[in-house]
Chain A
Amino acid sequence: MIDYKRRSEHIKKLYEQQNALDESIAHQMMSSEKIAFATSQWRMMWRKFIRNRIAVIGGIVILLFYLTALLANFVAPYTLKQRMTAYSLLSPQRIYFFAEGRFQPFVYGLKGSRDPKTLMRIYVPDPEKRIPIRFFIQGEPYKLMGLFPASTRLFGVEEGIVSLLGTDGQGRDMFSRIIIGSQISLTIGLVGVALSLIIGAFLGVSSGYFGGWVDNLIQRVIEIVRSFPPIPLWMALTAAIPPHWPPLRVYFTITIILSLIGWTWLARQLRGKVLALREEDFIMAARLAGASDGWIIFRHLIPATLSHIIVISTLAMPAMILAESALSFLGLGLRPPLTSWGVLLKQAQNIQVLLLYPWLMIPGFFVAISILAFNFLGDGLRDAADPYTV
């Protein structure tokens, strides 16, 4: 009779010995040299990414933009609708940083008058009157992040006006409006990409994984959607939003409309990835081990394509931000009281207005900078997502 107990103990012992041996070998290799295969894939990607300076700068700019958007009400000296009618269409003010050799930022007070010929309102700085810019000053009350009531603002003046980027026709501070408008401009891309990602990842991965008629059907749908030129299709769809809808509903409808086309691109990219992965040994192994389709998709395919999903979504952000600004600029997207960079740009459509008040164009530069930063970041991430090539 075989002594099963003794035998199993023997096996256990052998197993433990082998484990100890493996560990010591691994230790030796790690200590002798930090070899590439000992570092995780994500760490390699991070290392490669951090070496790309322009991409890192892009990432920092984006972080700053989103941080500012989060704390918009604190950063902006005025509220969105605060009108200073005495200072309408004021050009950006010059800020002086030093008074009597000491760091004390200030602006000059303004004397309003009218141009004798054109009767246009002009503002003359009054060198006698220095208005100091105070930090952490008490201003109009607001809710920080929509939750905490507060009234402290990053900077402001006690009298007169401080307007970094000028004011619009109703005397509203453009700097404050741009900062607060960034909340909508920047989140619409985020929400839009998230929505496209949900649809695109689900359909793209299933299309690549199942193949056959599922793939065929999904590909035909993508083909039809993509046979429309995007801006005209978006224009036609946004024109259908009833004018009386509440702002929040308009906002979400627009994100849905934007992701209605956006998902096709994500789905195509992911399908390609999955088609390649499907033939890999680890998927076959999982299938032979009896894993279900859902398990394989969610535990193997999606994690394996995660780095690509991140790259693709970063690269999809500029298109969303661009589309929203273009549509709002044309008057079809968001509309007041919702304020985004595109909505702000709508007042700068006319050449006469532009020539007299060129600072109304400034929101457009914010659109360009955010898109540039996203492109730099996305490009760096794309290179980093493939860390095995030098």
Chain B
Amino acid sequence: MITYIVKRILGMIPTLIIISIITFIIIQLPPGDFVTTAQAEIAASGGGMDASAVEAMRIRYGLDQPMLLQYWRWVSGFPRGDFGYSLEWSAPVWDIIAGRLGWTLLLSGLALVFMWLVSIPIGIYSARHQYSLGDNVFSFLGFLGLSVPDFMLSLMWLVFATMMLGISASGLYSPQMVDAPWSFAKFLNLLNHLWPPVVIMGVVGTAELIRIMRGNLLDILNQQYVTTARSKGLVEKVVVQKYAVRMAINPMISVLGMQIPKMISSSIIVGFVLSIPTVGPIFLRALITQDMYLAGTILLLMTVMLLIGNFLADIALAWVDPRIRFE
């Protein structure tokens, strides 16, 4: 097991290096740089900047140096936890995103848990009652969940909550709670604002997981060892829960790993619409203002999150399924 983990970690290093290079190139793609954007913004508000001030700004931010050197300056800080300096916010990148990264992780993690908790029981029910009314209703709902875009769901929730329920749906707290000191009421308020984005983010994946769970279980229920278990007189509940479900769940772990990119993408959009401080809103802003270290770090960290997520899913799979460890 340990050799397997070490091998996987070593395998990730070259990928990380290539990814950091690609990220840096992508972030540098737009014509001009942060100073150009700043100049345009100043000009738009009626001001002006002379050429020497522009040049001074470029030198101060190191934008006049060759690309390779800029890349090195950015990457070499990583081991110290230094991800560069946000030009727009005039603050170290890490200070800006640390808290937001936490919310992104929390929401994505909760959404994954939600997906599992909902899809496995429904998948088991659908497989055991194939083509029943319940199965058809669930598969239709699943299709619906698969098809309504997350931004649309968020917008619909905003309107529904405000119009029908009369509550504020955006942000993490209701307006009167934002500045209140920590209390149980504030915590409840936070929970009330957290579950909608979690559900919205989880809906798409849930539909997919139900299908996969249902298909896996159907396959396994037709296998001979299940027939053997039944014919030796085991109770149906034991046959399903201890024999079939135990096997059908394994692929769900690797599928969970495949859901992580969707969670990250979704956290950006849902965070943007529902004004939740995920990295989404500042990533969008950083891309538009060409705040390159901020945008680059966010893109890189999201990719790393994805890599680690897949890594954890693989470890979990190897842990529950000994056959994988022997390969």
Contacts and interface: CB of A to CB of B under 8 A. Distances in A.
A235 B284 contact: yes
Contacts of B261: 226, 229-230
A361 B307 CA distance: 36
Given A227-B303, A229-B302, A229-B306, A354 B159 contact: yes
A369 B144 CA distance: 9
B96 interface: no
Interface stretch (A75-83, A204-212, A301-309, A323-331): A323-331
Most interface-central of B158, B287, B305, B306 (chain A CB within 10 A): B287
Interface in B227-276: 260-261, 264-266, 268-269, 272-273
A232 B307 contact: no
Interface string B150-166: 11100110110011000
Contact of A355 (B152, B163, B284, B298): B163
Report the 9 A-B pairs with minimum CB-CB distance, sorted nearest first: A231-B265, A240-B29, A372-B147, A239-B287, A364-B152, A229-B264, A371-B147, A229-B261, A240-B30
A376 interface: yes
Interface string A351-382: 10011001001001101110110011001000
Interface of B: 15, 18-19, 22-23, 26-27, 29-31, 143-144, 146-152, 155-156, 158-159, 162-163, 169-170, 260-261, 264-266, 268-269, 272-273, 283-284, 287-288, 295, 298-299, 302-303, 305-307
Interface in A226-284: 226-233, 235-237, 239-240, 242
Contact of B287 (A326, A332, A376): A332
Contacts of B288: 239, 331-332
B144 to A, nearest CB: 7
B155 A361 contact: yes
A224 interface: yes
A348 B156 CA distance: 11
A318 interface: yes
A351 B155 CA distance: 8
Given A240-B29, A364-B155, A368-B148, A330 B19 contact: no
A377 B158 CA distance: 31
Interface of A: 223-224, 226-233, 235-237, 239-240, 242, 318, 322, 325-326, 329-332, 345, 348-349, 351, 354-355, 358, 361, 364-365, 367-369, 371-372, 375-376, 379
A355 B288 CA distance: 28
B26 A240 contact: yes
Contacts of B264: 229, 231-232
A240 B31 CA distance: 7
SS class, residues of chain B in contact with chain A: helix
B30 A326 contact: no
A228 B287 contact: no
A351 B170 contact: yes
A224 B18 contact: yes
Given A236-B26, A354-B155, A361-B155, A229 B284 contact: no
B26 A349 contact: no
Contacts of B272: 330
Nearest to B287: A239
A367 B30 contact: no
A51 to B, nearest CB: 14
Nearest to B22: A224
Contact of A371 (B23, B149, B273): B149
B273 A349 contact: yes
Given A229-B265, A318-B147, A351-B158, A224 B29 contact: no
Contacts of A331: 284, 288
B303 A228 contact: yes
A376 B143 contact: yes
Given A351-B158, A354-B158, A227 B15 contact: yes
Contact of A375 (B18, B19, B147, B170): B147
A361 B273 CA distance: 13
B152 A232 contact: no
A242 B149 contact: no
Given A240-B26, A375-B143, A375-B146, A232 B283 contact: yes
Given A326-B269, A332-B287, A361-B155, A229 B303 contact: yes
A349 B143 CA distance: 25
A232 B299 CA distance: 6
A322 B152 CA distance: 11
Contacts of B26: 233, 236-237, 240
Given A223-B15, A329-B151, A232 B268 contact: yes
